[in-house]
Chains A and B, each alone.
Chain A
Amino acid sequence: MATGSGAAAAAADAEEKESGSRMITLTSNEGKAFVVTEASARQSATIRSMVDDGGCVDKGFPLPNVDSKTLARVIQYCDEHGNKEAHTVDERAALAKFDKDFIAELDADKAFLYDVTMAANYLHIQGLFALTTQCIADTIKGKTPEEIRTAFGIEYDLTAQDEEEIKEEDTHA
């Protein structure tokens, strides 16, 4: 048992040394292949755990839930956060500026913003998911229920009983 885990640890060490230069292939649901650095791919907790489990690094990772356009944008985020250092104040400021511009651009195209949000959720990219969900929350913040329904294309399906409860809640709020 002890020898086994020792060998595994040694193997993991060797892999760790290699990982700096390793490239990983991600394939969109349209079959388009994107080659990224391992550091970039590791921004995704989903891919990170597959890589660490010794999964099919050479064969690449098919992503059946993500289309090419969305994947390209997600990779843009991962490259910035995975390949660059963020130790100094200037580096952190540069990254913050990237995030700001990145989300401003997405915010202009809501349908695309939702696609990126879903992809960030599916791939477990924590920073990107926080960025996009906060952006969506900000659009909801000042809106009335009616405006929210229009913005998200939600159908009104509340029952008379729901309406009664809502009225009740309003008087207590």
Chain B
Amino acid sequence: MGDDVVVQILSRLPAKAVLRCRAVCRSWRRITTTAYFVAAHSRRRPLQLLGYTGLVVDSSSSPYSYVFTVTSVVPAFCDGDDAAGCRILLRHNMRVSLRGSCDGLLLFERKTGGGAAAPTTACSSATRRRGSWSICRRRRTPRRVGVTVGDTVYWGRRQTDDRGQMSAFDTLSETFRRVAPPPPVSHADEGPMFDMHGALAMTAMSSTEPYLDVWIAAAAAAGGENWVRLLRVELPPGHYYSGEVKPHGYGKAVLDDAGVLLVAMNGWPSFLYDTKGRRMVVSCDISLEESHDYHETKLRSFCSQMHSLFVTDMWV
């Protein structure tokens, strides 16, 4: 069998079985240790939602009274050896915050007082790299990261801009353009956007109704977007903003290959919704301060290794 076929077979295995395959022969060993293989394996892992939370603890041994955790919400449909539900991926008592993730890479920012320059660090769980590195220093929290759909990056309306429009950046022509939001959705109801099988989708939650709507933009020939309401998800009590002021535009929604939508609005309980079966899968009580989508790979002893990376790097 050719290497490409072997990659396709072995990337379908759970991490433990892949480790056993590394002890089969030299050729399998070579194949399963390439960065290409690890990335392919990682992409087949279930999509998770990572959230960053600070918990108050009573600790006399630590100078900090908070424990910061990176918690993972895993869809119920896992094919691997993960249990459904939530679990804590990382726990630390240092003030860092999770800024992003991409293919097994986690990006942290160390929090310092008074808005001073903070080093940003990345920890890799997907590659075999043991080190971590400082990516950049910056002074201000960046603008919200846009949602990439195909060749275009989209941003929602700005908080203060009531009559404003969304913006889109075409990465091929390198041009910005304005995009009209779904007409009935007011800027205050606008939720996180996500890539729905190649189309731009936007979530919307009103403060008065227990629903989350999913709007999808079919790109019209003229370049404008034609919005259609695709789904209306009824939310359980406690999952919507009944009359309260909600933070605008924060949160995260992602759709995995199996059609499970993960929604986390920062500071509110998260949930998973099956868009094919049209039913709520899991709603979990933890509320996440920041959330990111993530494919974990356990091909390296991920938690302990990252923990130590994390500690050393933070204090360098």
Contacts and interface: CB of A to CB of B under 8 A. Distances in A.
A129 B24 contact: no
Contact of A140 (B5, B8, B9, B22): B9
10 contacts: A118-B1, A121-B2, A140-B17, A143-B20, A145-B21, A148-B24, A154-B24, A158-B23, A166-B22, A166-B23
Contact of A173 (B4, B21, B29, B301): B301
Question: 5 tightest A-B contacts by CB?
Answer: A137-B12, A145-B23, A172-B301, A133-B9, A133-B8
Interface of A: 114, 117-118, 121, 129, 133-134, 136-137, 140-145, 148-149, 154-159, 162, 166, 169-170, 172-173
B301 A156 contact: no
Contacts of A134: 12
Interface in B1-35: 1-2, 4-5, 8-10, 12-14, 16-17, 19-26, 28-29
A112 to B, nearest CB: 14
A117 B17 CA distance: 21
Nearest to B29: A162
A154 B9 CA distance: 16
B227 to A, nearest CB: 26
Identify which of B10, B25, B305 gathers the most chain A CB atoms within 10 Å of its CB.
Answer: B25
B20 A144 contact: yes
Contacts of B26: 157-159, 162
Nearest to B301: A172
Contacts of B28: 154
Contacts of B301: 172-173
Task: Tell me what chain B mostly uses at the interface: helix, strand, loop, or mixed.
Answer: helix
How many B residues are at the interface, by size bracket? 20 to 34
B20 A118 contact: no
B95 to A, nearest CB: 29
Contacts of A172: 300-301, 305
Contacts of B4: 121
Contacts of B29: 158, 162
Contacts of B12: 133-134, 137
B13 A141 contact: yes
Contacts of B2: 118, 121
Contact of B10 (A137, A143, A169, A173): A137
A57 B10 CA distance: 36
B1 to A, nearest CB: 7
A156 B20 contact: no
Nearest to A159: B26
B25 A136 contact: no
Contact of A148 (B1, B14, B16, B20): B20
Nearest to A154: B25
Contacts of A159: 26
Contact of B17 (A118, A141, A156): A141
Given A137-B9, A148-B21, A154-B24, 7 more contacts: A121-B4, A133-B8, A140-B17, A141-B13, A142-B17, A145-B21, A169-B22
